[in-house]
């Protein structure tokens, strides 16, 4: 998924962002006016001078003002101790607490968060999003008032949550620290226990109910949406319906995918000659492939993400396959690698497509594979299909850029 950064404006409509400036509630103060009833008497008026009331109008207004200020202060304090919303939602930011930050590699970590305030509704919000397809939530950087979307990881057998953690609404994220990314640098600077504000869920791609096959092409942390897509699709497995997903994951760092063993024979052939980012960030040095990822796995074990993928494969045997491409080993995704999977089918022309290609990763990766996304009238659109997927003419596949 292409990372997106949004500026959080303080002014908003009822459906927009809520200002993070301190808001004081409006209170209607009421005062009971004491009316002095003069008793009628048949006796003539006394010649004695009338004594004025002991409380002057000025004194009464001062007392009322002090009472109103005290009430407003008490109300503001109570509101400061009560959450605006304990349930994740699209309209306002909800506070979460950082439970742990576990390193995956030198530049990436697994973040585990739980809602700051308990809400039974969070479980239902998550489940609806998982059933729909690929989704994300926005993290807020409060100092700069900007936000960025990140994709939650599904719960697998590798990192199964306890019943209490599920009930508490825990969420996990695979986040890389970008030296130029304000939000990712902010998140990696936080201590365990710190509050983080989230808003969502935002559906990035709805996976149609009739989908039978997905080819997911992931670059770097784009593997998180791939895990989501696999989780969403394979949860629809039944006796008469066994959808399949093939994941092609390109990673620059061995630490991210250490222990990953490719499932197809084609992935074990000679490495491709060109990296997807060679045209964007300079040419990649050609090096001999001294050791495959599978060789490293026997020496160093499996990375956290590889364990997630293997757990998903164990849960749905025969329905998920994964191929790994490692830049450090001079192995890059080429047209021939994709041609093995993008083949014409025998479906009747005009029939609803049941096969889906998803591309997720850095902007350059998506552009190389399927062409860039475009902006129009302040909205990010898919743009025309280009890149090496276009060259393969995937007539029987629907293509979506994340």
Binding residues for FAD: 148, 150, 183-184
Q: Maximum Cα–Cα distance for the chain, whole Å?
A: 121
The enclosing H or E element of 70 equals helix 57-80
How many CB atoms lie under 10 A from the CB of residue 44? 6
Tokens matching residue 200:
């969502």
Query: Residue 43 has what DSSP assignment?
Result: S
Distance (Å, whole) CA 159 – CA 110 = 11
Which of 160, 175, 182, 200 has its CA nearest to residue 98?
A: 175
What is the full DSSP assignment across 249-283? EEES-HHHHTT---SSGGGGSPPPS--TTHHHH-P
Q: 114 near 161, Cβ under 8 Å? A: no
Identify the bridge partners of residue 111 per DSSP, sorted by sequence position: 101, 173
Q: 356 near 398, Cβ under 8 Å? A: yes
Which of 216, 124, 225 has its CA nearest to residue 173?
A: 225
């Amino acid at each position: 998924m292409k990372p997106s950064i949004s500026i959080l404006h303080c002014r908003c409509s009822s459906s927009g962002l809520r200002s993070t400036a301190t808001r004081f509630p409006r209170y209607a103060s009421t005062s009971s006016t004491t009316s002095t009833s003069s008793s009628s008497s048949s006796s003539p008026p006394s010649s004695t001078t009338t004594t004025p009331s002991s409380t002057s109008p000025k004194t009464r207004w001062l007392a009322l003002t002090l009472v109103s200020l005290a009430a407003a202060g008490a109300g503001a304090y109570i509101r400061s101790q009560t959450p605006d919303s304990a349930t994740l939602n699209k309209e306002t930011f909800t506070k979460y607490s950082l439970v742990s930050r576990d390193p995956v590699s030198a530049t990436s970590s697994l973040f585990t968060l739980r809602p700051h305030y308990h809400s039974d509704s969070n479980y239902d919000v998550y489940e609806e999003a998982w059933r729909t397809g690929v989704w994300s939530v926005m993290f807020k950087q409060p100092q700069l008032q900007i936000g960025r979307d990140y994709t939650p990881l599904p719960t697998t057998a590798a990192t199964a949550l306890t019943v209490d953690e599920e009930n508490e609404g825990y969420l996990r994220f695979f986040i890389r620290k970008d030296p130029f990314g304000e939000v990712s640098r902010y998140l990696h600077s936080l201590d365990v226990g710190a509050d983080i504000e989230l808003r969502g869920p935002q559906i990035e791609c709805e996976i149609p109910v009739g989908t039978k096959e997905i080819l997911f092409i992931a670059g770097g942390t784009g593997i998180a949406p791939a895990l989501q897509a696999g989780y969403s699709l394979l949860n629809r497995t039944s006796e008469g319906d066994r959808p399949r997903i093939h994941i092609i994951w390109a990673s620059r760092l061995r630490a991210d995918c250490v222990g990953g063993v490719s499932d197809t024979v084609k992935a074990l052939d000679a490495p491709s000659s060109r990296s997807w980012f060679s045209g964007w960030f300079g040419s990649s040095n050609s090096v001999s492939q001294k050791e495959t990822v599978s060789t490293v796995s026997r020496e160093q074990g499996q990375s956290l993400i590889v364990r997630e993928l293997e757990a998903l494969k164990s849960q749905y045997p025969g329905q998920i396959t994964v191929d790994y491409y490692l830049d450090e080993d001079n192995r890059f995704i080429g047209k021939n690698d994709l041609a093995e999977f993008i083949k014409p089918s025998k479906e009747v022309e005009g029939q609803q497509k049941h096969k889906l290609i998803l591309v997720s990763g850095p902007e350059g990766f998506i552009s190389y594979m399927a062409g860039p996304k475009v902006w129009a009238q302040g909205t990010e659109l898919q743009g025309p299909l280009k890149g090496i997927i276009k060259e393969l003419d995937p007539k029987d596949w629907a293509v979506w850029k994340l």
